[in-house]
Amino acid sequence: MSRVVYVGTADPPYLEHVSIGAHVIEADEPGDAGGNDLGPGPYELLLAALGTCTSITVRMYAERKQWPLEAVHIALTHAKVHADDCAACDTEIRTIDCIEMEILLTGNLSEDQQRRLLEIASRCPVHRTLTSAVQIRTMLPADRVLHIHSK
Protein backbone atom coordinates (compact mmCIF):
# COMPACT_ATOMS: atom_id res chain seq x y z
CA MET A 1 0.00 0.00 0.00
CA SER A 2 1.22 3.49 -0.77
CA ARG A 3 2.02 6.13 1.79
CA VAL A 4 -0.54 8.79 2.59
CA VAL A 5 0.10 12.10 0.87
CA TYR A 6 -0.89 15.13 2.94
CA VAL A 7 -1.56 18.49 1.32
CA GLY A 8 -2.14 21.61 3.40
CA THR A 9 -2.81 25.24 2.67
CA ALA A 10 0.07 27.64 3.19
CA ASP A 11 0.58 31.36 2.74
CA PRO A 12 0.67 33.12 0.23
CA PRO A 13 -2.53 32.10 -1.61
CA TYR A 14 -2.37 28.84 -3.60
CA LEU A 15 0.90 27.73 -2.03
CA GLU A 16 0.49 24.19 -0.72
CA HIS A 17 2.75 22.11 1.51
CA VAL A 18 2.91 18.48 0.42
CA SER A 19 4.13 15.84 2.89
CA ILE A 20 4.90 12.30 1.79
CA GLY A 21 6.49 10.36 4.62
CA ALA A 22 9.73 12.19 5.47
CA HIS A 23 9.61 14.21 2.25
CA VAL A 24 8.19 17.73 2.03
CA ILE A 25 7.72 19.75 -1.14
CA GLU A 26 5.76 22.85 -2.02
CA ALA A 27 3.32 23.28 -4.89
CA ASP A 28 1.93 26.52 -6.25
CA GLU A 29 0.16 27.99 -9.22
CA PRO A 30 2.12 30.09 -11.72
CA GLY A 31 1.83 33.86 -11.57
CA ASP A 32 -0.58 34.06 -14.50
CA ALA A 33 -2.99 31.81 -12.57
CA GLY A 34 -2.89 33.88 -9.38
CA GLY A 35 -0.07 32.06 -7.60
CA ASN A 36 3.52 33.02 -6.92
CA ASP A 37 5.25 30.14 -8.77
CA LEU A 38 6.96 29.01 -5.55
CA GLY A 39 6.78 25.37 -6.58
CA PRO A 40 5.55 23.12 -9.35
CA GLY A 41 1.88 23.30 -10.22
CA PRO A 42 -0.55 20.39 -9.96
CA TYR A 43 -0.20 19.33 -13.60
CA GLU A 44 3.58 19.55 -13.36
CA LEU A 45 3.46 17.22 -10.36
CA LEU A 46 1.26 14.86 -12.35
CA LEU A 47 3.76 14.88 -15.22
CA ALA A 48 6.60 14.32 -12.75
CA ALA A 49 4.79 11.27 -11.35
CA LEU A 50 4.31 9.83 -14.84
CA GLY A 51 7.88 10.60 -15.91
CA THR A 52 9.54 9.16 -12.83
CA CYS A 53 7.42 6.02 -12.89
CA THR A 54 8.12 5.51 -16.60
CA SER A 55 11.86 5.98 -16.16
CA ILE A 56 12.06 3.62 -13.19
CA THR A 57 9.95 0.97 -14.96
CA VAL A 58 12.13 1.11 -18.09
CA ARG A 59 15.35 0.98 -16.06
CA MET A 60 14.14 -1.99 -13.99
CA TYR A 61 13.15 -3.91 -17.11
CA ALA A 62 16.48 -3.23 -18.85
CA GLU A 63 18.34 -4.23 -15.71
CA ARG A 64 16.39 -7.50 -15.46
CA LYS A 65 17.18 -8.25 -19.12
CA GLN A 66 20.81 -7.16 -18.60
CA TRP A 67 20.52 -4.71 -21.50
CA PRO A 68 23.11 -1.90 -21.81
CA LEU A 69 20.78 0.97 -20.90
CA GLU A 70 22.86 3.79 -19.43
CA ALA A 71 20.27 6.51 -18.86
CA VAL A 72 16.67 7.52 -19.49
CA HIS A 73 15.68 11.14 -20.11
CA ILE A 74 12.02 12.05 -20.46
CA ALA A 75 10.39 15.34 -21.50
CA LEU A 76 6.66 15.66 -20.82
CA THR A 77 4.07 18.28 -21.69
CA HIS A 78 0.37 18.59 -20.91
CA ALA A 79 -2.24 20.51 -22.86
CA LYS A 80 -5.97 20.70 -23.32
CA VAL A 81 -6.69 20.01 -26.99
CA HIS A 82 -9.88 20.19 -29.02
CA ALA A 83 -11.64 16.83 -29.21
CA ASP A 84 -12.11 16.48 -32.97
CA ASP A 85 -14.17 13.34 -32.69
CA CYS A 86 -16.65 14.43 -30.02
CA ALA A 87 -20.32 13.80 -30.87
CA ALA A 88 -21.53 17.17 -29.55
CA CYS A 89 -18.87 19.39 -31.12
CA ASP A 90 -21.47 21.44 -33.01
CA THR A 91 -23.17 22.48 -29.78
CA GLU A 92 -20.36 22.50 -27.19
CA ILE A 93 -16.68 23.24 -27.00
CA ARG A 94 -15.02 20.03 -25.90
CA THR A 95 -11.39 19.47 -24.96
CA ILE A 96 -9.43 16.46 -23.87
CA ASP A 97 -6.21 16.23 -21.90
CA CYS A 98 -3.17 15.38 -24.00
CA ILE A 99 0.14 14.35 -22.46
CA GLU A 100 3.12 14.05 -24.77
CA MET A 101 6.11 12.10 -23.52
CA GLU A 102 9.40 12.01 -25.40
CA ILE A 103 11.82 9.35 -24.16
CA LEU A 104 15.56 9.39 -24.88
CA LEU A 105 17.28 6.09 -24.17
CA THR A 106 21.08 6.16 -24.03
CA GLY A 107 23.28 3.12 -24.21
CA ASN A 108 24.33 0.59 -26.84
CA LEU A 109 20.79 -0.69 -27.44
CA SER A 110 19.56 -2.44 -30.57
CA GLU A 111 16.48 -1.11 -32.39
CA ASP A 112 14.50 -4.09 -31.06
CA GLN A 113 15.59 -3.33 -27.49
CA GLN A 114 14.64 0.34 -27.88
CA ARG A 115 11.26 -0.61 -29.35
CA ARG A 116 10.62 -3.04 -26.49
CA LEU A 117 11.58 -0.43 -23.87
CA LEU A 118 9.08 2.01 -25.41
CA GLU A 119 6.40 -0.67 -25.10
CA ILE A 120 7.36 -1.22 -21.46
CA ALA A 121 7.24 2.55 -20.83
CA SER A 122 3.50 2.58 -21.52
CA ARG A 123 3.01 -0.17 -18.94
CA CYS A 124 4.30 1.69 -15.90
CA PRO A 125 1.80 1.76 -13.01
CA VAL A 126 1.13 5.52 -13.21
CA HIS A 127 0.53 5.33 -16.97
CA ARG A 128 -1.94 2.50 -16.39
CA THR A 129 -3.69 4.53 -13.69
CA LEU A 130 -3.99 7.58 -15.92
CA THR A 131 -5.43 5.57 -18.80
CA SER A 132 -7.88 3.52 -16.73
CA ALA A 133 -11.21 4.36 -15.16
CA VAL A 134 -10.27 6.00 -11.87
CA GLN A 135 -12.58 6.42 -8.89
CA ILE A 136 -11.83 9.30 -6.53
CA ARG A 137 -13.81 9.29 -3.31
CA THR A 138 -13.86 12.66 -1.56
CA MET A 139 -14.94 12.78 2.08
CA LEU A 140 -14.40 14.54 5.37
CA PRO A 141 -12.25 12.80 7.98
CA ALA A 142 -14.16 10.12 9.89
CA ASP A 143 -13.74 11.91 13.23
CA ARG A 144 -15.34 15.09 11.94
CA VAL A 145 -19.11 15.52 12.05
CA LEU A 146 -20.75 17.55 9.32
CA HIS A 147 -23.81 19.41 10.56
CA ILE A 148 -26.26 20.48 7.90
CA HIS A 149 -28.98 22.88 8.97
CA SER A 150 -32.09 23.03 6.85
CA LYS A 151 -34.65 25.81 6.98
Mean pLDDT by 10 residues, the chain (151 residues): 82 91 93 93 96 98 98 95 63 80 98 98 97 92 56 37
The enclosing H or E element of 65 equals helix 42-65
Q: Identify the pLDDT of residue 73.
A: 98
pLDDT at site 87: 58
Looking at residue 150, what is its pLDDT? 38
CA distance 123 to 100: 15
pLDDT at 83: 67
User: Percentage helix, strand, coil, to 5, in the chain?
Assistant: 30, 30, 45
Question: What pLDDT shows up at residue 148?
Answer: 45
CATH of domain 41-133: 3.30.300.20
